[in-house]
A and B are shown apart, each in its own frame.
Chain A
Amino acid sequence: MSAVVQHPFVEALVAGGSALPATPLSWLNQRRATALERANALSVPSTRDEDWRFTDLAPLNRLHYQAPAAAVAAVDVAPFALPESALRLAFVDGVLAPALSDCGNAAAGVTAGTLVEGLKSHPALMEAHLAVHAPFEQQFFVALNTAWLRDGAYVHIAGHVTLPKPIHLLFISTRKDAAPCPRVLIVADTGAQCTVVEDYVSTTAEAYFNNAVTEIAVAANAHVKHVRVQRESLAAVHIGACAVSLAKDSSYVSQSVALGARLSRYNLDVVQQGEGAAAVIDGLALISGEQCADTHTVMDHAQPNGRCSQLHKTIVGDQAHAVFNGKVFVREGAQLTNSAQQSRNLLLSPRARVDTKPQLEIFADDVKCAHGATVGQLDAEQLFYLKSRGLPDGQARKLLTFAFGAEIVDRIPVPSLVAQLERAVMAQTQAGV
């Protein structure tokens, strides 16, 4: 396989996945083996593949493979802590750090722990959901993550239980050349409600590779809010995928924010499996320097009466490159679907670049679908207005840029995280632009 030869680091990762010890569960061994087979069979994506056309994986080649470390590094989690969270699961370089986690006051009906614990406590549920929703037949990095599936975070909300406080899943990277494959499974039973914050942070400025996969199963009438924050080291490579399955009349509301990583890619696939399900998909990428942030979303309306609204924003400075690909599928028979998508992009420098591709594929006639995309700079009239009020040009630009990004950040339902992110957005707009 010629493509793997060009990716010694990824090749070593695939080989590492085959060396993992077997688990006592045959179905899990089977799924891991199939994924490993696919990872071996698929070539590492290149810009020749339509899905990776604008995103070059070259930064991956500058990494050197190391076996996962045995000991968990000591980390101060205080800067990342969310005071209002009900519980926190902290993973350091892919391994759960009980000392940094806080599972003290979990409410009744809420299970949050490692996948290994989940496999013991809810084996049937695990078999029904784990490595089921995120397909890996064609997705190289999902296959790689699944082949490496040993542990991860597991959240289960029992039927009709409402958890008002957010659950914080914190993934901390501390080591150069580390290559964890974080895995998250969230299952919300009928009528359950929860908010989950999936947070990728680092304590190092070195390069490493994070290959994350999240699966979210939302049962009938359940409501899941999902916040995904990627604030990795500016040298890191972050590849993440999230697969969401929505049952009848359920809802999924998500905000994803990408601030860090030299190269980041996020694939969000939402499948509306039941009638009347609703989704909100918001995204923000704020990048500068030589960063590249790539977001691919798929909203698959497989059943009638679905609703989806999506707003994806990017702020691109210096020589950074933002990519957005949003696909909306309306399957045959998915009548009365109402789906709207917006891609808004702000270019701040002459060498910044944006590639955006909003797609509609519609096979039902009684639907309402719209998408829009804009790429441009700050509005001259808005600038003039602020300047007429006495703000200097630079100040006015920063304020408008901040406001552009804050529209997404302010939708996050966790106030302390909003404050943290607003500070980060403010710092970046002050520094970069």
Chain B
Amino acid sequence: MSSTAALEQLVNQPYRHGFVTDIESDTAPKGLNEDIIRFISAKKAEPEWLLEFRLKAYRHWLTMTPPTWPNVTYPTVDFQNITYYSAPKAKKKLASMDEVDPELLKTFEKLGVPMNERAALAGVAVDVIFDSVSVATTYKQKLADVGIIFCSISEAVREHPDLVRKYMGSVVPTGDNFYAALNSAVFTDGSFCYIPKGVKCPMELSTYFRINTQESGQFERTLIVAEDGASVSYLEGCTAPKFDTNQLHAAVVELVAMDNADIKYSTVQNWYAGDEKGVGGIYNFVTKRGLCRGVNSRISWTQVETGSAITWKYPSCVLRGDNSVGEFYSVALTNHYQQADTGTKMIHIGKNTRSTIVSKGISAGHSNNSYRGLVRIAPTAAGARNYSQCDSMLIGSKCGANTFPYIDVRNPSGKVEHEATTSKIGEDQLFYFQQRGIGAEEAISMIINGFCKDVFQQLPMEFAVEATKLLGLKLEGSVG
């Protein structure tokens, strides 16, 4: 069997998580105008300042145009043909997991997230987001004992308005970019996490996002604040049901790290990528940014991107505090007609700031995978240091791999190194495995896992297992 044919079979793996959960939704009419924003705000019983925040963002958004610079092509999104609010019908407050809609629990079951078990066994508190409204929050008490606030953004707005008001929009301003402005105007829910001074979060925090109602865009908003000396590791995992209509997802994630604080944000993204003809799939236009405000702070992004028809995502670090550290570890896998334009920005402002970028791109089928990154050493960033490495692997001759690293240095004591390579799985590598009695499929899986090892090592253990499985799943197939 030729290895090319084997590879083609390997990378064609149907989407396992395609099903629709039948839950009644309380849905706003399609379209976007100030009334819709007022409707969302009223539905969520928000304070006046938040409505103002939304309206300001909306008015700014009206003056903006969608970015055209990414290396992706897609039909123009009709922003008036999107439902901006859809929530499961409000029910009485839930005291325990038993009261959660069994339909909902079944959905998580199918996804392989036995929530209660998983939470108990793994010690993971899952703040479950189901179509924009937080339905259940577990392990809240345990976290509350050490003073950590971990809840949905809506709840935080109600319970901790001062904190939310102080930090929301401080890292990603409302007018930052087209999709961030849209998100600021219409965001429905998301997670809020606050780690007080000196507290080390006793468990990995994790959230599952899931898009459900057809044609309802998801506009999640996440805000994580780590005070002086605090540390937290946050996990985000994504899967979505199978639909033919493209769904827009424009999330905003803001991280704030004060003196000596440490935030680790890990993502495994496996949204519906469209079928093998490129029909359907999620548009994932996300703004993620972390601000190292304090000295010696550290923000680390780890992402495994395997889903979405189009990914437009640049988790960034603004290294303002002296000696702060930014990290970005990424694996992006594209197959069929998927397009990914992803990377990071490291903005060095403080002295002796350091950043590391490790990006691994794998393209198969007719897909197109781009790394786009910026490393900027500001004139104030004396002694700044950056190391970037981006490697691409091509599987098949119809796919593309691109790198667009921007390097902008304005301080002579800064040191920036960038390396990139592009390669394919070598015949000799495969031959070596096969002559040792390891089949082509397993060999390819092992080679790819080896290629991604530097990134997987950064993931928390449970996620590392999941990511390895996910990559295997994506590349799994019958080898004849």
Which residues in A have some Cβ–Cβ distance to B below 8 Å? 50, 54, 332-333, 335, 345, 347-377
Contacts and interface: CB of A to CB of B under 8 A. Distances in A.
B395 A374 contact: no
B282 to A, nearest CB: 25
Contacts of B397: 332-333, 335, 364-366
A375 B377 CA distance: 10
Given A362-B394, A365-B394, A366-B424, A351 B400 contact: no
Given A353-B409, A358-B420, A362-B400, 6 more contacts: A333-B397, A345-B409, A347-B412, A355-B406, A355-B409, A366-B397
B43 interface: no
A357 to B, nearest CB: 5
Contacts of B398: 332
Contacts of B377: 375
B11 to A, nearest CB: 12
A353 B378 CA distance: 10
Contacts of A371: 403, 418-420
B422 A362 contact: yes
Contact of A358 (B411, B418, B424): B418
Contacts of A332: 397-398
A354 B407 contact: yes
A372 B420 contact: yes
Nearest to B388: A373
Contact of A347 (B399, B401, B411, B424): B411
Nearest to B422: A369
Interface string B379-421: 1000000000000101111111111111111111111111111
Contact of A365 (B399, B407, B420): B399
Bin the interface of chain B by size: 35 or more
18 contacts: A50-B69, A54-B408, A333-B397, A353-B409, A355-B409, A356-B407, A358-B405, A360-B403, A364-B397, A366-B424, A368-B423, A371-B418, A372-B418, A373-B417, A374-B417, A375-B414, A376-B415, A377-B415
Contact of A355 (B395, B408, B419, B424): B408
A377 B419 CA distance: 18
Interface of B: 69, 377, 379, 392, 394-424
Contacts of B408: 54, 353-355
B417 A372 contact: yes
Contacts of A361: 400, 402
Contact of B416 (A348, A364, A365, A376): A376
Contact of B404 (A359, A374, A376): A359
Given A335-B397, A368-B423, A377 B402 contact: no
A365 B424 contact: yes
B422 A351 contact: no
Contacts of A369: 421-422
Nearest to B394: A365
B110 to A, nearest CB: 36
Given A364-B397, A371-B403, A377 B412 contact: yes
Contacts of B410: 351-354
Given A362-B422, A368-B422, A373 B400 contact: no
B380 to A, nearest CB: 10
Given A373-B416, A374-B416, A375-B416, A363 B399 contact: yes
Q: Ordered nearest first, which 4 A-B pairs have the shortest CB separation?
A: A347-B412, A365-B394, A373-B418, A376-B415
Contacts of B421: 369-370
A364 B397 CA distance: 5
A360 B416 contact: no
B372 to A, nearest CB: 10
Nearest to A376: B415
Contact of B402 (A54, A359, A367, A372): A359
A2 to B, nearest CB: 18
Contacts of B379: 350-351
A365 B418 CA distance: 22
From A332, A333, A357, A360, residue with most partner B Cβ within 10 Å: A360
A345 B417 CA distance: 10
A353 to B, nearest CB: 5
Nearest to A371: B420
Contacts of A363: 399-400
A354 B376 CA distance: 10
